[in-house]
């Protein structure tokens, strides 16, 4: 693998080692999509896509986001990039509030946060050789062409594509895995501090997926990057993430260190999701039945705990009152379930 020149990425912006410091903090983020109808196109209802989501990503870590299709993972990602405006909440990037007076502008945020999507083909311009695609962002920000092209060659090498062999190729001349490597190089060309990977390896064959995951780990270590890794594949998320956040119907139901989430999940939804995951180990203990059926309609989410309509442990309190994210053990491991609150009134509530 090629070495990058010493002046890239800029040494002052990397997030290596040291005590944990937040790079990104999100407080009570909300996005409701209007559903319009009738001749006048009036708003008839709203999809509660992201509903009060709060979390922090520490510098240098990988936070995985998991949950069933439609739970709001991609909407969170798009909100973080400000590809759409939130309806509420606050986003703080490296100490500065996004789009607030005296904070960080959306333009600056979009340079420091880059995203890689699942669909590697449509992210690339089909009429542009890949070296040009990688150089495009830096040139748009004013880097002279010769420098941007040199950076593109360097980055293609960094993602494992020989720039002499691949730089002049068009996207249709590349495999899916190669295209995704180009997309990663393109994202890195703007020297981001946070990379959001939204189902970025989901369309790849398992062997190619493993190569790209290994590449991501190497890049993260070499460049001091921070990742937000969104996937429906719990095995992949476990492998790559330091911490994992579980979403259900627009809300966070559990968040904690990866090993604790996988070994000792607190929320029945997380346990049901894990039970739905195919296992190679026939002796693996599965206390919860796999999650079945479809999630409720996000236009009218159930009152109380949104999972209560599918939860085998649901009691009256679960539909009466929404549980708060909290911990009954390790402070870093939080779950929103009445069984985790000693005084909730649920018969299965933990006692201390
Ligand atoms: N532009 C939009 N207009 C209306 N509803 C939307 C829009 N984008 C997303 N939604 C809805 O918001 C909810 C969350 O969608 P989102 O794509 O964030 O989920 P997801 O967890 O990323 O799902 P997947 O894993 O399938 O991509 C879903 O109910 C979806 O139908």
Question: Are 24 and 120 in a shared domain?
Answer: yes
Domain end call among 225, 243, 261: 243
Q: How many domains does the chain have?
A: 2
For residues 37 and 117, membership in a common domain is answered with yes
Report d(CA 212, CA 168) in Å as an integer: 21
Indicate if 25 and 88 belong to the same structural domain. Answer: yes
Backbone angles phi, psi at 11, to 5 degrees: -65, -25
Task: Specify whether 116 is located in the same domain as 230.
Answer: yes
The pairing of strands 88-93 and 22-37 is antiparallel
Residues 257/327, Cβ–Cβ less than 8 Å: no
Range of the domain at 90: 20-127+192-243
Whole-angstrom CA distances from 258 to 45, 63, 148, 261 are 36, 9, 38, 5
- Residue 268: both structure tokens together: 């029945």
Angle 40-301-46 (CA atoms, 0-180°, nearest 5)? 20
Same domain, 348 and 199: no
Same-domain pairing of 112 and 239: yes
The reply to whether 74 falls in a domain is: yes
Q: Is 197 part of a structural domain of the chain?
A: yes
CA–CA separation, 93 and 227 (whole Å)? 14
Q: Which of 204, 225, 243 is the last residue of a domain?
A: 243
Question: Is the domain of 109 the same as that of 220?
Answer: yes
In a domain, 237, yes or no: yes
| C-alpha to C-alpha distance for 58 and 15, rounded to whole angstroms | 9
Distance 215 CA to ligand 1 centre (A): 29
Residue 295 Cβ inside 6 Å of ligand 1? The answer reads: no
Whether 180 maps to a domain, the answer reads no
Does 158 fall in a domain? no
* 132 occurs within a structural domain: no
Residues 31 and 81 in one domain: yes
Judged by phi (left if over 0) then psi (alpha if -120 to 50, else beta), residue 270 lies in alpha
Most informative mutation of 29, 35, 49, 76 for ligand 1 (most atoms within 8 A of CB): 49
CATH number at 233 reads 3.40.50.300
Say if residue 219 is in the same domain as residue 326. no
| 120 and 231 housed in the same domain | yes
Q: How far is the CA of 49 from the centre of ligand 1 (A)?
A: 6
Complex ipTM > 0.90: yes
Q: Chunked in runs of 10, what are the mean pLDDT values of the chain (352 residues)?
A: 40 57 96 91 94 96 95 96 95 94 92 88 89 96 96 95 96 93 94 95 88 92 95 93 97 96 95 81 64 88 96 95 88 94 90 62
Nearest ligand 1 atom, CA 76: 18
- 166 domain-assigned: no
pTM of the predicted structure, to 2 decimals: 0.91
239 shares a domain with 276: no
The answer to whether the CB of 183 is under 6 A from ligand 1 is: no
Q: 213 and 122 in one domain?
A: yes
Q: What is the pLDDT of residue 293?
A: 79
Q: What is the pLDDT of residue 336?
A: 97
């Amino acid at each position: 693998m090629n070495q990058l020149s010493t002046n890239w990425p800029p040494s002052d912006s990397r997030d290596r080692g040291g005590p944990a410091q937040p790079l990104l903090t999100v407080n009570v983020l909300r996005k409701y999509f209007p559903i319009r109808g009738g001749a006048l196109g009036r708003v008839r209802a709203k999809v509660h896509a992201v509903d009060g989501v709060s979390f922090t990503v520490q510098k240098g870590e990988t936070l995985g986001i998991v949950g069933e299709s439609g739970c709001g993972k991609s909407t969170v990602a798009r909100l973080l990039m400000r590809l759409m405006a939130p309806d509420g909440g606050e986003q703080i990037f490296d100490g500065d509030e996004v789009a607030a007076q005296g904070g960080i502008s959306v333009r600056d945020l979009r340079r420091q946060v880059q995203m890689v999507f699942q669909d590697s083909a449509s992210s690339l311009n089909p009429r542009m050789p890949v070296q040009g695609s990688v150089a495009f962002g830096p040139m748009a920000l004013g880097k002279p062409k010769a420098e941007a092209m040199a950076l593109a060659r360097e980055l293609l090498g960094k993602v494992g594509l020989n720039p002499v062999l691949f730089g002049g190729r068009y996207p249709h001349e590349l495999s899916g895995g190669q295209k995704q490597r180009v997309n990663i190089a393109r994202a890195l060309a703007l020297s981001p501090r946070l990379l959001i990977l939204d189902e970025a390896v989901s369309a790849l064959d398992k062997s190619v997926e493993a190569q790209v995951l290994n590449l991501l780990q190497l890049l993260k270590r070499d460049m001091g990057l921070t990742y937000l890794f969104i996937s429906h594949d719990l095995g992949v998320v476990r492998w790559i993430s330091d911490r994992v956040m579980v979403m259900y119907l627009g809300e966070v139901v559990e968040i904690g260190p990866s090993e604790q989430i996988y070994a000792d999940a607190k929320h029945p939804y997380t346990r049901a999701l894990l039970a739905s995951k195919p296992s190679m180990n026939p002796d693996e203990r599965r206390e919860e039945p796999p999650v079945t059926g479809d999630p409720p309609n996000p236009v009218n989410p159930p009152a109380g705990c949104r999972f209560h309509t599918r939860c085998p442990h649901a009691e009256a309190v679960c539909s009466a009152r929404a549980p708060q994210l909290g911990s009954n053990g390790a402070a870093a491991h939080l779950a929103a379930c009445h069984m985790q609150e000693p005084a909730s009134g649920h018969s299965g509530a933990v006692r201390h």
